[in-house]
Amino acid sequence: MEKYIITNGCSFTRQHRRIGINGTSDDFINDTRGQWRWSHHIKDIYQDANVINLGCPTNDNQVIALSTMDMVNKLLKEGILPSNILVITQWSESARNSFFISHEVSEVYGSELKYKDTHENAYAHVSAYLDKCDKNVGKNGYFIQSGGYSYNHVLYDVVDIFDKQGEYISPESKLITYFTNILLLQNFLKLHNIDSISFNLSYNLNEVGGTNTFSETYNKIINKNIFKGRYDNPYVQSLFNLIDIDSMWLHTDEDTNNGGITEWAIKTFDKEVDEQLFMEHDIANPNSVPNFDEWVLMNDKINEYPYGHVSEQMNRKFVKTILNKKIEKYLDIK
């Protein structure tokens, strides 16, 4: 019986295309090697598994939960047994949001999606995961996404919804939304007896997150971010009490007990062996600075923060050292 692994997340899971608009859940292995993420490496390492990648850039946690449930439901309807489905979720930043835009609303605000639009930002901050990459793209509506609340490049006027929402967002409201989406997916999977594991892009559990910081010589310094295990706000705490925290992987070291793949990558990066920490430090590009320390210093000189998407090398390391236990147990690899 074929084994399925459903993966989902934001651009830390897939960056090259958008599901339903210009990409599918199974064409990800054709992405350029430099944009391979952990899901790509699962497919490359465990080739007997049928890996489905629903990740898209700017995905928020609502779209991640909804699109995952839809794919699980499709497999179950096809007769796939729950024991032959494993779900691995990369949760995005808790601050991200999405809002559903109906086709009628998109017409009113001149925000319709155009099929095969060649503009480089044609589909920025858009999710239409139920579409089929054809001329009907967006005809049933789509989700507009906040991303990191920097969207001057977004072509759709409806994105201004986040300017209005942003005035009312608080650390507590972010956590309530984050936990609600986790619960939605966790409870759905438990209802159908489907095994899962999830992890965060970065710090999500604390009301005030931490920012990764580097010294000029890059000595793996990150801001301390210790989650105390409880919340002062009763609305947040009530939701946290319902979370199955044991099904989530959290990076733990002397600086944090709630790190994500980003903190893990920073702390386990070996300059001599791994060479590339972030995708944005493109060592395959002949015009790039090949030495990591030089790249950090170069960014310092132009006041750019040396940070980015976890590199394909470190994503492979993440699969082989963190996710491998769960996957190999599921695949019954001795």
- Cβ neighbour number for residue 321 with a 10 Å cutoff: 11
Q: What CA dihedral angle connects 162, 306, 310 and 176, to 10 degrees? A: -30
Residue 98: in which H helix or E strand, if any?
A: strand 98-101
Output the DSSP codes for 10-53: STTT--S--BTTTB-TT-GGGS-GGG--HHHHHHHH-TTSEEEE
With both helix axes pointing from N to C terminus, report the angle between 171-191 and 61-77 in degrees, rounded to the nearest 10: 10
Q: For residues 37 and 52, give the distance between their C-alpha atoms in angstroms, rounded to a whole number.
A: 13
Task: Quote the pTM value.
Answer: 0.94
pLDDT score recorded for residue 7: 98
Q: What is the SS3 assignment for 7?
A: strand
From residue 22, how far is each of 122, 127, 246, 301 by CA, in Å?
11, 11, 36, 37
Give the number of other CB atoms < 10 A from CB of residue 324. 15
User: Residues in the chain, how many?
Assistant: 334
3-state secondary structure of 165: helix
Output the pLDDT for position 103.
Answer: 96
Are 59 and 92 within 8 A, CB to CB?
A: yes
Instruction: Kindly list the averaged pLDDT for each block of 10 residues, start to end, along the chain of length 334.
Output: 95 95 95 96 97 97 98 98 98 94 96 91 94 95 91 91 88 94 98 98 72 49 79 96 97 90 91 87 78 73 67 97 98 90
Q: Which of 49, 30, 56, 156 is nearest to 99 (CA)?
A: 156
Smallest CA-to-CA distance from 6 within 45, 46, 39, 47 is with 39
* Six token digits for residue 325: 């236990």
CA geometry: angle 146, 188, 227, nearest 5 deg? 60
Domains of the chain listed by start with CATH number: 1-96+169-334 (3.40.50), 98-168 (no CATH)
The residue behind tokens 């759905």 is: 188
pLDDT at site 334: 81
Cα 133 to the center of its chain, rounded Å: 21
